[in-house]
Each structure stands twice: as structure tokens, then as C-alpha cells.
Structure 1
Amino acid sequence: DGSDPVGAAVHAAWVKHDVAQCGYCQSGQIMSATAFLKSQPKGKQPTAAEIDGAMAGNICRCGTYARIRAAVADAARALA
């Protein structure tokens, strides 16, 4: 609903980076990204490897992994 700052940052980054294609995996991707960013110390910028590890349980058949990684990193920067 946008009242959670981490969820709102992830949503904004998802839109900015045009992550969704078919939409099949998006709910799981967004939940994983939000949980990952909530688990990070305030202001910590995760590495690409950390993002990949956190998101590894989600399969995207469209292959938008680079956009997913960029969106998670962007959301982390917005929360810093």
C-alpha cells in the first residue's frame, strides 16, 4: 500500500527500471527484494553478489535479472 518505506522504494525502483515483463514472477521477486533490504543494516549498499544471492530463489523466465539487480540496488540507495 506504499506505507512501508522499503516496499515503496522497491516498487518505485521496479517501475523505474521497467523490471516486469510477463509478470509471472514479480510478486515473489518483490517480496524477496523487500525482505532482503529490510534485513540490511541502515545505509548499507549491498554488492551485486549479495543481491544475486538474496534473489537466487526466484526464477524469471523472461531473464530480467540485470534489471532486477539494478532495481534492488537502486532501492537500497534510495533508502540510504
Structure 2
Amino acid sequence: MSALDDLKTDLAKLRDEAKVQVHLGTMETKQEWEEIEAKWNRFVAEAGLHKSGEGIKAALQSLGNELRAAYQRLKQAI
């Protein structure tokens, strides 16, 4: 599990705990909750991009290897 996954797990737990408190809280607390929820949604979205970024990196590496092999074959054919 990566540090980002650990952070996400910890934040999710804190979020659940805070959600209960907000339900019992004041209007000011609920407004702050809404602001924090917007940040949470951004964090989750960007954490997902991190994972897809790793997939993109692997795909680019594979493509680079294919290109290298193709260039080497072309060079030998000439």
C-alpha cells in the first residue's frame, strides 16, 4: 500500500467521524463541512489520476520499447 493510499484511508476514517459530528453540529459547522467536502472530492479525483498516471507511464514505457525495437529492426534492414 502506498503512502497516498494510507493517507486516503486515514482521511476517509476522519471524514466518517467528522460527518457524524457535523450532523449534530451548528450551521457554521455544516458550512465548513461543505468546504471540506469540496476539498475531499478534489483529493479523491487527483488520487485517481495518480493511479491512472502510473498506468500511462507503463503504457509509455511499453510503447518506447516497441519503438526502440522497431528502430533497431529498421536500422539493421538498411
Which protein has the larger Cα radius of gyration, Structure 1 or Structure 2?
A: 2
Structure 1 and Structure 2 fold alike (TM over 0.5): no
Normalising to structure 1: TM-score of the pair?
0.29
Relative CO higher for 1 or 2, CA cutoff 8 Å, sep ≥ 6? 1
Name the structure with the higher helix share.
2
